[in-house]
Copies of this chain bind each other. A is one copy, B any other.
Amino acid sequence: MGTTVIPGGLHRPFDPSAFRWEGVGETPYKDREGRRRGMSWQGLNRFTLATPETLAGTFEQRYFEIAPAGFSSLEKHAHVHLVVVLRGRGRALIGDRVVDLAPFDLVQTPSWAPHRWVHAGDAEPFGFLCTVDGDRDRPSEVDEAEWDALGADPHTAALVF
């Protein structure tokens, strides 16, 4: 076991008991932005698995884990997410839809669709891979019209806070 350094590459064994990769430390999710509309978050851990700085590619892959009662910020941006759930149960607001998520479910978030990931289910964390372009724009909060519309829609209101 142990991280095997392949010349120019890498094998990081996964430890199922800890549900972590050897040698992959946590990186901050983002600065607290709780005072901007919907940008608060809670109980979220972020692990960067690969970036254009660590592999000769244009993309970045992260693993996010959300604890019970946790949630990501409600945000939007031009870049897309490609998500594959690895563990637990979750729920996502994407655009004006809410989808329930289980292991290995696949989700794409469209450009500029407001989105938020929340834990659902029991005590197991909700964990998912998220692949993005390495070169991408920064998230911004939803605008006031989106905030009002999503908050007024009974399908989405519970995820708008």
On A, residues with C-beta under 8 Å from B are 4, 6-14, 16, 21, 24, 49-50, 54-59, 61, 78-80, 82, 84-86, 92, 94-97, 99, 101-111, 113, 129, 131-133, 135
Q: How far is the CB of A110 from chain B (nearest CB, A)?
A: 3
Q: Which 6 A-B pairs have the closest CB atoms?
A: A8-B110, A14-B104, A59-B59, A9-B110, A12-B106, A9-B108
Q: How many copies does the complex hold?
A: 2
Main secondary structure of the interface of A (DSSP, over half): strand
- Complex Cα distance, B159 from A25, in Å, reads 33
Scoring A59, A61, A105, A109 by chain B CB atoms within 10 A of each residue's CB, the highest score goes to A59
Question: Given the known A-B contacts A57-B82, A95-B9, are A108 and B4 also in contact in the complex, defined by CB atoms under 8 Å?
Answer: no
B residues in contact with A94, CB < 8 Å: 6, 9, 11
Are B108 and A50 within 8 A (Cβ)? Answer: yes
Return the chain B residue nearest A54 by Cβ: B108
Return the chain B residue nearest A14 by Cβ: B104
Are B10 and A55 within 8 A (Cβ)? Answer: no
B residues in contact with A97, CB < 8 Å: 4, 6, 11
